[in-house]
Amino acid sequence: MRRLPVYFLIDLSESMIGEPLYQVEEGIATIVRELRSDPYALETVWLSIIGFAGKPKRITPLVDLIQFYPPRLPIGGGTSLGAAIEFLIQDLNQNLVRNTPDTRGDWRPIIFLFTDGVPTDDINRAVEEWNKYYRNKAFLVAIAFGEEVDIRELNRLADQVLLFKNTDAAAYKQFFKWVTASIKTTSIGVNEGHRDEFQPARVDENILSRAAPDAAQEYKGTVDLQHAVFIARCQQTKKPYLMKYSRGKANAQLHQEGLAVPNRLYHLQGAYLVTEQYFELSDNSSTHKFTVSSAALVGVPNCPACGNQHGFAMCPCGGILCHGREEVPVCPWCNSKLIIKDSSEDTPGPHNIIRGRG
Ligand SMILES: [Zn+2]
Ligand SMILES: [Zn+2]
């Protein structure tokens, strides 16, 4: 039986923490459940998941639907799309079954690329290689999550670029339904009609719209603008966690009063435990480069690991930690003893603080 390989190339940068990551994990589980009940898909579809942040990582190798177990997805810093595409090319080189005089190889693989940000690496070489070796042998559909995606860059790679308005849980449901339906129609096409091409299901334009092939939407700069995400470690448990802040509207009122507040404030969305995999998936350059003023941040979380009241204190080494009632606070990053001033107000600190990227 000829296989129909389906790859999910998933952006696991920091801004995906929280709701988007949860929805993508749920979505993948739904896709697999649905496809397993479809006889055509069950016979032909093989799935693989490659995640990428600062670095790419194979999360699930190419397996058939029976062997596929929906994974937990890790998070990292950075959005190295170029490195991810090169990793994908290597994976395809190794795993695709090619036509020989005796056997029929795999059907054309489908790659679903989900991304919510701007590449933080140079994608030129990856684009060149992709177009040279796989443009005509695979079908790559890129789905931009949200609005801060560089469509122009995606258009250099993808056969189709779709804009997903990831507004709520219902939108995610619709979106993953579309992915499932598209895989189903393609597997019917190859089985019954021997049509070796991607056949996308009909798109609900309110959820998913097509970007024009010449769309020029471009984002300059390498930091994610909608979110500010910080990596921290728990003082008690040393566990890493992320704090996500999202940009709110301009605070016109305070501006009118002539107060020196930043035009854009970032509001706390939540604090989330991550695993040590965060550091494996992050590139070296992702911290210490970008700063955001602590005055632009609204809200401080409790520590999600130990429940300490303050999730956000900064050591002079640059590491962020939780603190509470420790008599002698010790930085979980550099092990120095600290004196933390009792801060009763909701401000994380007087200094500019390091901000994660992507
Ligand atoms: Zn803690
Ligand atoms: Zn320290």
For ligand 1, the distance from its centroid to the CA atom of residue 24, given in whole angstroms, is 27
Residues 40 and 96 in one domain: yes
Cα 333 to ligand 1 centroid, rounded to whole Å = 13
* CATH code assigned at 82: 3.40.50.410
Pair (202, 259) in one structural domain: no
Burial of 8 per CB tally in 10 Å (0-12, 13-18, 19+): buried
174 and 32 co-located in one domain: yes
Name the closest ligand to CA 238. Answer: 1
Of the ligands numbered here, which is closest to the C-alpha atom of 333?
2
Asked, for residue 236, whether it belongs to a domain, the answer is yes
Six-digit token pair at 225? Answer: 């603008």
Q: How far apart are CA 157 and CA 135, in angstroms?
A: 8
Q: Give the Cα-Cα-Cα angle 51, 242, 263 (nearest 5 degrees).
A: 110
Residue 1 C-alpha to ligand 1 middle, in angstroms?
A: 52
CB atoms within 5 A of ion ligand 1 belong to: 234, 236, 303, 305-306, 308, 322
Determine the distance separating the centroid of ligand 1 and the alpha carbon of 240, expressed in angstroms. Answer: 9
201 with 274, same domain?
Answer: no
In order of 26, 316, 332, the CA distances from 335 in angstroms are 38, 11, 6
User: Both 130 and 60 in a single domain?
Assistant: yes
Residue 352's DSSP bridge partners are 293
Q: Residue 6 class from Cβ within 10 Å (0-12 exposed, 13-18 middle, 19+ buried)?
A: buried
How far apart are alpha carbons 289 and 278 in whole angstroms? Answer: 18
pLDDT in tens, 70-129: 999 999 999 999 999 999 999 999 999 998 888 889 999 999 999 988 888 999 999 999
Q: 214 near 26, Cβ under 8 Å?
A: no
Residues in the chain with pLDDT < 70?
213-225, 248-263, 284-291, 341-358
Do 128 and 259 belong to one domain? no
Distance, CA of 169 to chain centre: 17
- The alpha carbon of 280 and the centre of ligand 1 are apart by a number of angstroms equal to 22
Residue-range definition of the domain harbouring residue 137 = 4-210
Domain assignment present for 22: yes
Going from the Cα of 284 to the center of ligand 1, the distance in angstroms, rounded, reads 25
pLDDT at residue number 218: 60
Say which ligand is closest to the CA of 321.
1
Assess if residue 267 is contained within a domain.
yes
For residue 221, being part of any structural domain is answered with no
Residue 177 lies in a domain: yes
Q: Are residues 23 and 151 in the same domain?
A: yes
Are 185 and 289 part of one and the same domain?
A: no
Q: Count structural domains, the chain.
A: 2
| 344 CA → ligand 2 middle, Å | 22
Q: How far is the CA of 174 from the centre of ligand 2 (A)?
A: 45
Q: Which ligand is nearest to the CA of 239?
A: 1
Residue 157 lies in a domain: yes
Domain boundary among 179, 210, 241: 210
| pLDDT reported for residue 226 | 75
**Same domain for 245 and 203:** no
- Residues 53 and 15 occupy one common structural domain: yes
Centre of ligand 2 from the C-alpha of residue 324, in Å: 16
Identify the nearest ligand to the CA of 335 by its number: 2
In the reported structure, the alpha carbon of residue 74 is separated from the centroid of ligand 2 by a whole-number distance in angstroms of 25
pTM of the model: 0.87
Residue 220 lies in a domain: no
Same domain, 187 and 245: no
How many whole angstroms from 247 Cα to the centroid of ligand 2? 28
Q: What integer pLDDT is reported at residue 216 of this predicted model?
A: 60
Per DSSP, 214 falls in state T
DSSP string, 7-51: EEEEE-BGGGTTHHHHHHHHHHHHHHHHHHT-HHHHHHEEEEEEE
- The interaxial angle of helices 124-133 and 81-95, nearest 10 deg, is 30
Residue 3 CA, ligand 1 centroid: distance in Å: 48
> Which of 182, 210, 238 is the C-terminal boundary of a domain?
210
Q: What is the 3-state secondary structure (H, E, C) of 103-145?
A: CCCCCCCEEEEEECCCCCCCCHHHHHHHHHHCCCCCEEEEEEE
Same structural domain, 245 and 187: no
Asked whether the beta carbons of 173 and 166 are under 8 A apart, the reply is no
In a domain, 90, yes or no: yes
Q: Is 88 helix (H, G, I), strand (E, B) or coil?
A: helix
Dist. CA 26 → ligand 2 center (Å): 37
